[in-house]
Structure 1
């Protein structure tokens, strides 16, 4: 279990590392009951780790005032239903994310054709199913306010998902970015586990609109954050963060957009009802190479029998 100082990502922002993903606790140390907010909820196996981290930061019986979701992918909402019930806490998300949190829609399929590593190659195995939080989930206020966090604003940062949001505190330029950009190469299993510190675009295998994702990165770069706490990777700070984020914003097409892929050729389309259009798949280059290799082996074995 991380110590209090190890968890801290910014003033009153505490990172909860959960193997390949992060959750965040926002509130003053030893906040009173309902005096803090949980941002994202990790994997389905993350409940105990999040509860333990909250107890370490705020006391063993302290419950959040709310749970705020940057988006609804499986690795960010895995424990949200269990935690919302345990703590009797409301859940907030952008209106365009609600179809995936109320059982009305599933996400578009992930795209293994983007390459980049094992995490991308096995992405068809990841759950894209929506969950149903029913009456517990509510839309974020349309004025940009974050419930129970008066110093924070939410920023709509679509592209990775239609209703993706990031959270920003202007007074010290602290940014909780979700997956709008990340600080590790999430497509690579080794990088996802070791978390080398560098700014990267959103996880490619789940990003369904690259032009919109580029606009979101540019919007966040314009905020000139001092601290960025992302959904994957370790928090980054200061000039190095801003320089790398500015570079990503300037050269997003080269640095972040895959050479080819299902959503590179054409974006998925979604609205308040959920997914409306998904482009056809692109046959993954890795699969082509495997097929060619397998064919060569079979051919060699067959030739050897003659």
Structure 2
């Protein structure tokens, strides 16, 4: 691992938190998520019953906290069969370099995200001018530099399958990031949406802190393609998920999820797309 690449960016502390930070939630007997500051990390696999997979790697400096969760859920010597990523933004890969160095396990991401995970390309800078509240204004503090996993990251298979998870598939849900994906299991309609849509209004510092549940589009300050983001939400609604674990916010299910997705799709240009910002060309989306 190239730690120097990360020394001055992805290893710095980001001063954001929520009341759910440090807590976990078992959604299914083999699906668990843990909140690191303001972002969710997924663990797929039944404790005591074979292999498991890590979904995303949290905020900067998250490795030790993730390992502590692993000890509690899977045992002291346990490590995942693989790590799969919804995308490579700083708050989803913060512990990744350290974890891969220690665990020596493969990482899988959409092929469009690989350049951001091998030191080749930086994401566009967060838009602190975008319509929104304190979180958007503070986004200039958020790193956009790539991490460098060298040869330890591989593209997800073209056929939509997920390595080490036979009953899951990945769905390309870009807009927030070019290679953003969501993970879906048909048999119980469980969705891990990443940041394609979330359940907390990130424009509001109070809502982020208190994790007030509300279905929303992707975080505005790091979303660069709003038409693609809307199309991705349409894909997610078409899956008709029964339960959704977002990248930010609490799990949502049942009618609240179904109705929330319907309303988000129908009103995306009004409720999700900001009125102004450097990544807004116009509001003529469809």
TM-score where L is the length of structure 1: 0.83
1:212 aligned residue? 228
| Residue 78, structure 1, aligned to residue 99, structure 2 | no
1:27 aligned residue? 45
2:125 aligned residue? 109
- Output the CA distance in 2 between the equivalents of 1:266 and 1:255: 15
* Contact kept in structure 2, 1:100 and 1:107, CA below 8 Å: yes
1:275 aligned residue? none
Q: CA deviation at 1:142?
A: 0.4
Q: Deviations over 1:157-202 (max 9, x none)?
A: 0000000000000000000000000000123222222111110000
Other structure's SS at 1:211 match: helix
- Output the CA distance in 2 between the equivalents of 1:116 and 1:156: 27
Q: Deviations over 1:111-157 (max 9, x none)?
A: 12223211100111110001110010000000000000000000000
Cα distance 1:188–1:31, how it changes in 2: closer, same or farther (>3 A)?
farther
2:13 aligned residue? none
1:7 aligned residue? 25
Unaligned runs of at least 5 residues, structure 1: 268-306
- Output the CA distance in 2 between the equivalents of 1:67 and 1:201: 25
* Contact kept in structure 2, 1:115 and 1:121, CA below 8 Å: no
1:53 aligned residue? 69
Q: Deviations over 1:2-53 (max 9, x none)?
A: 9xx9521234111111011110000012233xx0000000012211221111
Q: CA deviation at 1:210?
A: 0.1
- Output the CA distance in 2 between the equivalents of 1:188 and 1:46: 24
Q: CA deviation at 1:107?
A: 0.3
Other structure's SS at 1:263 match: coil
Among 58, 62, 65, which residue is 2:78 paired with? 62
Other structure's SS at 1:198 match: strand
Q: CA deviation at 1:221?
A: 0.6
Deviates more, 1:58-67 or 1:171-180: 58-67
Aligned length: 262
Cα distance 1:11–1:251, how it changes in 2: closer, same or farther (>3 A)?
farther
Structure 2 counterparts to residues 197-208 of structure 1, below 5 A = 197-208=213-224
Structure 2 counterparts to residues 1-306 of structure 1, below 5 A = 6-32=24-50, 35-265=51-281
Unaligned runs of at least 5 residues, structure 2: 1-19
Which structure has the bigger radius of gyration?
1
TM-score where L is the length of structure 2: 0.89
RMSD across aligned positions (CA)? 1.6
Other structure's SS at 1:151 match: strand
More helix by share: 1
